[in-house]
Amino acid sequence: MSNIFTSAVRVFAKPGKPLTRAVAEEILAAMKADNGSYWVPVTAASGPNGCWLDVQLGSAKNPGWPEFWEHRGDEFDSMWERFSNEGGWPDTITHSLRAEYFHALDSRPVRYGFDHVIVTGPRAALPEPPDAADTWSEVGPRMWKSTARGSYQGLNERTDMREGPSAWIKDAGWEPGRPAVHPFELTTPTTPARHATGAPDFEPSWLEPLLADDGTPPHPEIERVDLFWRNRLVHRAQMYPVWWLDDKDDDMPGDEPAEWEHRSADDWDNCLDPEYRNYLTDWSERWIAASG
């Protein structure tokens, strides 16, 4: 078995030409080509009023969108891909503004953002912020919030070995943010997020010790670290039973060992890539003008 690749693709409609459901189905079918998705759940969701189409699928055996974009790219404004290789770091991003072979373009590491953090544990275990504006405030029993803003790299692979090597178009879920299917699951726009994914190159540095990725919590009494972007949970680190990491469907056994693990839920909303953010601003202005 080769490495499993997860691709999150966003196709932007041309201003004044919203995507219909029929066109969205055509795009999804073209992206999946003949082999389907490779060990990754397929999800698809249209943006407000058909402004874009989001697709998640596994691509190790099926890079269908380069051909799709080469043959039909002129019908749309642009296409962006966030790419994750479960065997490496970190997520990368690339885009095409023209109908040309997609992977011929350069890709680059992508950073994700958060605008506050909530830690569950004793106050004495928390690092002290250098800025008084980021001071911890109590928001619940043993729960402390800081409005510190920051960013990190991530590995948002969505491997699910129960999917099989070829998920087909009938399996696509069109509703993002599906409910969690497991008590330890992290509900994301592209659930599930099952495997350990740390947050390297973390900023600000004073919070970095909370995101330790060596299998042990940053402090024995810290139970969980949650990062949020606009009130959406985008990254969680906490103790998980080791048995669950094997994707078993058994009932939870008792007294099993646990490890400090990460779950990621990054998406296009907290993607901080400068080129993407600049493009989104420009495209939004053109979309609003064409809709007015």
Rounded to an integer, the average pLDDT of 185-197 is 65
- Most confident of the following: 32-36, 70-74, 182-186: 70-74
Predicted confidence at residue 145, as pLDDT, reads 97
Task: Identify the CA nearest to 113 among candidates 237, 202, 188.
Answer: 202
Whether 204 and 227 have beta carbons less than 8 Å apart is answered as no
Q: What are phi and psi of 83, to 5 degrees?
A: -115, 135
Alpha-carbon gap, residue 153 to 164, rounded angstroms: 28
Question: Over the stretch 116-146, which tens digit does the pLDDT of each residue have?
Answer: 999 999 999 999 999 999 999 999 999 999 9
225 pLDDT tier (thresholds 50, 70, 90)? very high
User: What confidence tens digit (pLDDT) does each residue in 238-259 have?
Assistant: 887 765 555 444 445 555 667 8
Residue from 253, 87, 242 nearest 159 by CA: 87
Mean pLDDT of 162-166: 82
Q: Is 183 exposed, middle or buried (0-12, 13-18, 19+ CB in 10 A)?
A: exposed
Q: What is the pLDDT of residue 176?
A: 60
When pLDDT is cut at 50, 70 and 90, the band that residue 99 belongs to is very low
Residue 249 pLDDT: 47
H-state helical runs in the chain: 21-32, 65-72, 274-291
Q: Does the pLDDT value for residue 64 go beyond 60?
A: yes
Q: Of 29 and 61, which is predicted with more confidence?
A: 29
Query: Distance (Å, rounded) from C-alpha 99 to C-alpha 5?
Result: 23
Q: What is the pLDDT of residue 189?
A: 65
Burial class (CB in 10 A: 0-12, 13-18, 19+), 254: exposed
Mean per-residue pLDDT of the chain: 83
The tokens describing 154, both together, are 């991530």
The residue ranking higher by pLDDT, 230 or 86, is 230
What percent of the chain lies above the pLDDT cut of 90?
39
Distance CA 131, CA 6 (A): 38
Alpha-carbon span 240 to 57, nearest angstrom: 26
